Amino acid sequence: MPPTALIVGQSVMKAFQHLSTQDLHTRRVEEAYRVVAECITAVDPAMRLYMFGSTAVYGVHEKGSDVDFVALSKTDVEDGKGEDAGTQVAKGLQAEFLGKLAKVVRQKHFSWNVEEVRRTRVPVIRVKGGSSVDFDITVNRRNGVRNSALLRAYFEQDPPCRWLSMGVKRWSKRAGLNASVVGGSITSYGFNLMVVYYLLQRGALRFIQPDAIDVANVAPVPPYLPLEPPRNDGAELGEQILDFLAFYMHEFDAARHVISLSRPGITTKEQLNWTKNAEDLARMNGEKINYQWCIEDPYELNLNVGRNVTPLKRDFLRKHLEKARETALLTTT
Ligand code: GTP
Ligand code: MG
Ligand code: MG
């Protein structure tokens, strides 16, 4: 017999017990913001620093989570709905700025580990700041700020939904599904898109047009959004978790449909031309893109956030969805 919704909810609550004694206020990362902003100013005083990723999405900072930063120019911010340039020239300029920034960070904080990552889709520097927080810094890219603000706007409609998101994220990391762990294939961001898509399909959230999100209206440091304990002792959370798992196991048609926040209702692979043909074409161009588990990025043109999900990884995901029901998202073991 699989555990009841109440047991699932309470088990997941227990896994997050440590949060009740933690200071989750976003001011805890303001120090990191100040330090990074100082380094940015040393490279170019006209650049502005924005925080995005989980701290912005949830409005709380979980200990151990990295912080995502992006340096934006005045024009980037003013043209807050503009598309990010994906050209090699743009990437080159970004890498150049980040190279200078890495130098400054190393000078000012010689004990920190600063790594320039160039081979990713987006140039980034990854800083491990010893006892303080770790962070990623990118430049001239609005999409991260926009997609975080979009996810946040959804969670603000029903703040307790953050528990579902946090439960799923924790599970994805422990199960080896999350791209941040070895063998993982979907980022936390991808799992958040899955959570929100599920809630939209259930009518638990109202659709938000992605184009409505404007960087010019987003706070550089995300405001704190207090996290209250789950409602009715976790029973509701447990029901939501079981329903989320059932949705992706039995209802979502991975062979034909796309997880998407770009438009209300159903999006098909056919519609986006995310087909076997497109997979083969990409392969001929030396890219490995899979359209097995499709998650449409609301801002990046033609980008499958689930592109690393091979047929094997998709089966692995299904197996874990199954197992998650028995183990309350891997919190009982
Ligand atoms: P944790 O760091 O695991 O706590 O979660 P997080 O919510 O910060 O998510 P994550 O680090 O995965 O993502 C932070 C930001 O990176 C997102 O807001 C996205 O802008 C970007 N990002 C992460 N994964 C992808 C991806 O697969 N595709 C694209 N386009 N952007 C991504
Ligand atoms: Mg992050
Ligand atoms: Mg990150």
- The 10s digit of each residue's pLDDT in 23-78 is 899 888 888 899 999 999 999 999 999 999 999 999 999 888 889 999 999 999 99
* pTM score of the predicted model: 0.96
Please name which of 116, 115, 114 lies closest in space to residue 105, comparing C-alpha atoms: 114
Residues 140, 142, 145, 148, Cα dihedral to 10°? -130
Amino acid at position 139, single letter: V
What distance in angstroms lies between residue 53's CA and the mean position of ligand 3's atoms? 7
Of the ligands numbered here, which is closest to the C-alpha atom of 170? Answer: 1
Indicate the SS3 state at residue 35: helix
Residue count of the chain: 333
Is the CB of 144 within 6 Å of ligand 1? yes
Q: What is the DSSP string of 263-296?
A: SSS-EEHHHHT-SHHHHHHHHHTT-----SS-EE
Complex ipTM more than 0.85, yes or no: yes
Give me Rg for the CA atoms of the chain. 20
Structure token pair of residue 9: 């909810």
Phi, psi of 233 (to 5 degrees): 65, 20
Is the CB of 6 within 6 Å of ligand 1? no
Is the CB of 184 within 6 Å of ligand 1? no
- Please state, as a whole number, how many other Cβ atoms lie within 10 Å of the Cβ of residue 306: 28
Sign of CA dihedral 207, 211, 217, 219: positive
In the chain, DSSP assigns E strands to: 48-52, 67-72, 113-117, 124-128, 135-139, 257-260, 267-268, 295-296
Low-confidence ranges of the chain (pLDDT < 70): 131-132, 333
C-alpha to C-alpha distance for 276 and 289, rounded to whole angstroms? 10
Question: Which ligand 1 atom lies nearest to the CA of residue 299?
Answer: 30
Is the CB of 297 within 6 Å of ligand 1? yes
Please name which of 243, 315, 305 lies closest in space to residue 9, comparing C-alpha atoms: 243
C-alpha to C-alpha distance for 25 and 37, rounded to whole angstroms? 20
| pLDDT given for residue 28 in this prediction | 82
Helices 161-174 and 188-201: crossing angle in degrees, nearest 10, is 140
Of the ligands numbered here, which is closest to the C-alpha atom of 86? Answer: 1
Please name which of 223, 159, 225, 214 lies closest in space to residue 30, comparing C-alpha atoms: 223
C-alpha to C-alpha distance for 150 and 300, rounded to whole angstroms? 14
Largest CA distance in the chain: 61
**Nearest protein CA to atom 4 of ligand 1, as residue:** 65
What distance in angstroms lies between residue 22's CA and the mean position of ligand 1's atoms? 23
Is the CB of 76 within 6 Å of ligand 1? no
Instruction: Name the DSSP class of 212.
Output: G
| pLDDT given for residue 314 in this prediction | 98
| pLDDT given for residue 64 in this prediction | 80
- Please state, as a whole number, how many other Cβ atoms lie within 10 Å of the Cβ of residue 140: 20
- Which residues partner with 49 through β-bridges? 71
Please name which of 303, 277, 274 lies closest in space to residue 291, comparing C-alpha atoms: 274
Torsion region of 256: left, alpha or beta (phi above 0 gives left; psi -120 to 50 gives alpha): alpha
